[in-house]
Every structure is written in structure tokens, then in C-alpha cells.
């Protein structure tokens, strides 16, 4: 396959794993390790990617300037399925294949969404803090709420949304689905987003982040929700206007929130911090020991496949790159 560097920004990538780093070395490639553990600018990514032929990445920003600074870059393998941090048009223009790891963390992400729904309704974090303070508040202001019998609205009915739906089936809930791309949803009622927001006790977000969905839940949408409603976001932070969300909590317009993702990760809006009715996790919805192994193995395979001239179209986020570009024709 030849000599070259592969930039690896995914934290804890196993450089000696038989299905990961060892495969890169066997192909004559060197792993250039630069784990993303906080915010990173496109300029920083451009410096890291210069001269690399491939990349196995976290949520690093790959814009036109990065591809211009790394003309040898032939493949960007995203560990996960979200590509909102990558300019797919710029990648295509540069002849760089962008791949994802479909299915590798679907069930894990659905587990986490359900965990956050239950944590918010059962007020797990609040009770944990209370017990640690030496209290025993079984009723009163910390009385928890029920999932059984609730109306749950699923916004986005892709693979993860459907997996969440399967898990909720055992809780005796009424399910509503809002997804403009679907007229039917496995027998569940498909409604307009506004209708879902008005009716749901729990709203859980599973939509991708793009130009159409950015700010999907803002002040007008939050105003539609019931005061007893809980909002859960394990999809992408940009779906929710965090300033409007804080204002809605201040006004008592919604009951509680659980967030795994944020608008400007890893920063969290100060107005949301310190609230007992907001549960936070650090964008770990799709992460587990097994899902990380699956995703890094798939990303490694994608890099090797693309560099060998045999890209797997099922994993490619910018399929147009395979048309009309010299290296692929």
C-alpha cells in the first residue's frame, strides 16, 4: 500500500490492536496520534493533518482550509455516524472520501437515550446528590415521575430512533413520531413536530444536524411543550437553542432536561449549569467498550480500503467523490 501517515484523533485508539493500529503498520502506514480531548480549531486540524494520507477522527472540524492544507489526504474516517463537523462538499472537491461507521453504535446510543429518559423522570441525579448530603427525601419536592403510561415523542426515526422505540415498547407508553422523511413508522403514529411537542410528556431527539435541523428546538418550539414535559437530546447539540432552553427552564415552561450533546462542545452554556433539573453526560451516548472497538475497527478498515482503491460505498458519506475524480475513475 505504500508509505504514509494516518492522523488519529480518536482518543484511546489502540495503536497495538490487531484490528486497529497493527493493521495500519502492516500496510506500511504510521499512526500520527493526536487525540481530541477538547475544543479544536480548523487551523489546528490543518496543522495536524498536513502530509497525512488518511485520518481516523473524532468530531474535529474538517473544512475547506483543512483539505487545502492536506492535499495528500485521501480518506477521513469518522468514528461514529455524524458528519456535521466535516464539510462534505470541500472533501468531495478535494477528492477525499469521508466514511462513517454505520450501525456500530446504534444500540449503544439507544441504551443511553433510554437511560437519560429514566434518569430525568426518576430524578436519579437529584436523589444521588440528596442522599450524599445526608438527606432521605422520598417524597415532597423530589418526588419522581413515571415513564409507564406517558406519551413519548421521538423526533427523527432513523436507525437510532427506531432502536429507542423498540426499547420503549416495554414501558406501556404512547409513541408519537415526527420525521418529515417518513409517512409511516413501524405502525406508530407519525405527526407534525408541533403536534408532537404539544402532546408529549417526553421528547427525545434523534435527528441529524444539518441546515434544515439546526435550531430545530428553539423558543417557539419550547413554548409549545407542556410544563410537565421532559426534553432529552442525545443526537447533536445544535438541534437545541441552549439560550432558549435555559429561559424555558427559568419560566417553568418545561419540567426537566437531559443532555448528552451541546452546541459548543465541550463548553456548556453557563445558564444551564447548576440546575438540579438538568442531567448532563459528556457526549457518550454512542460509546461503550464494545461500540468503541467496533467503530475504531471499522474506521481502520475504511482507511485501508480507500487507500487500496476499494472503498466500501455503504460507509461513504460523500458518494459523489467517486464520480469524476481521477483517482477513483
Residues that are catalytic: 236, 265, 283
Report the alpha-carbon distance of residue 306 to residue 44 in Å, rounded: 25
The number of residues in the chain equals 329
Copy the grid coordinates of residue 211: 441546515
279 with 120: CB under 8 angstroms? yes
- The partner residues of 62 in beta bridges, in order of sequence, read 86
Closest alpha carbon to 301 in 314, 289, 288: 314
For residue 197, the SS3 value is helix
Give the burial class of 204: count Cβ atoms within 10 A of its Cβ; 0-12 exposed, 13-18 middle, 19 or more buried: buried
Give the position of cell 480549531: 41
8 A C-beta contact, residue 292 and residue 17: no
Quote the CA–CA distance of 2 and 29 in Å, as a whole number. Answer: 7
140: left (phi over 0), alpha (psi -120 to 50) or beta: left
18: Cβ contacts below 8 Å, ≥ 6 apart:
none
Q: In b/e form, how buried is each residue of 278-291, taking b as 16+ CB within 10 angstroms?
A: bbbbebebbbbeeb
DSSP per-residue string spanning 109-124? HHHHHHHHHHHHHHTH
Amino acid at each position: 500500500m505504500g508509505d504514509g501517515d494516518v492522523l488519529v484523533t480518536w482518543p484511546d485508539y489502540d495503536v497495538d490492536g490487531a484490528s486497529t493500529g497493527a493493521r495500519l503498520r502492516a500496510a506500511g502506514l504510521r499512526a500520527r496520534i493526536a487525540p481530541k480531548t477538547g475544543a479544536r480549531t480548523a487551523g489546528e486540524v490543518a496543522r495536524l493533518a498536513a502530509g497525512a494520507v488518511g485520518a481516523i477522527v473524532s468530531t474535529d472540524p474538517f473544512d475547506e482550509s483543512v483539505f487545502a492544507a492536506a492535499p495528500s489526504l485521501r480518506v477521513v474516517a469518522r468514528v461514529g455516524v455524524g458528519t456535521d463537523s466535516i464539510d462534505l462538499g470541500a472533501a468531495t472537491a478535494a477528492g477525499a472520501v469521508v466514511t462513517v461507521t454505520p450501525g456500530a453504535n446504534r444500540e449503544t446510543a439507544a441504551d443511553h437515550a433510554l437511560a437519560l429518559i429514566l434518569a430525568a423522570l426518576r430524578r436519579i441525579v437529584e436523589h444521588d446528590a440528596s442522599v450524599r448530603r445526608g438527606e432521605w427525601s422520598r417524597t415532597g419536592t423530589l418526588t419522581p415521575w413515571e415513564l409507564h403510561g406517558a406519551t413519548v415523542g421521538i423526533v427523527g426515526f432513523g436507525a437510532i430512533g427506531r432502536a429507542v422505540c423498540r426499547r420503549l415498547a416495554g414501558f406501556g407508553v404512547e409513541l408519537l413520531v415526527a420525521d418529515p422523511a417518513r409517512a409511516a413508522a413501524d405502525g406508530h403514529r407519525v405527526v407534525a413536530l408541533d403536534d408532537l411537542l404539544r402532546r408529549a410528556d417526553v421528547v427525545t431527539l434523534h435527528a441529524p444536524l444539518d441546515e434544515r435541523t439546526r435550531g430545530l428546538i428553539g423558543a417557539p418550539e419550547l413554548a409549545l411543550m407542556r410544563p410537565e414535559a421532559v426534553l432529552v437530546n442525545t443526537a447533536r447539540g445544535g438541534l437545541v437553542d441552549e439560550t432558549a432552553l435555559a429561559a424555558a427552564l427559568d419560566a417553568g415552561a418545561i419540567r426537566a432536561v437531559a443532555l448528552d450533546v451541546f452546541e459548543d462542545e465541550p463548553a456548556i452554556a453557563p445558564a444551564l449549569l447548576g440546575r438540579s433539573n438538568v442531567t448532563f453526560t459528556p457526549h457518550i451516548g454512542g460509546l461503550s467498550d464494545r461500540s468503541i472497538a467496533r467503530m475504531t475497527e471499522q474506521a481502520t478498515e475504511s482507511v485501508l480500503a480507500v487507500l487500496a482503491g476499494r472503498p466500501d460505498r455503504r460507509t461513504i458519506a460523500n458518494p459523489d467523490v467517486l464520480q469524476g475524480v481521477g483517482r477513483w475513475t
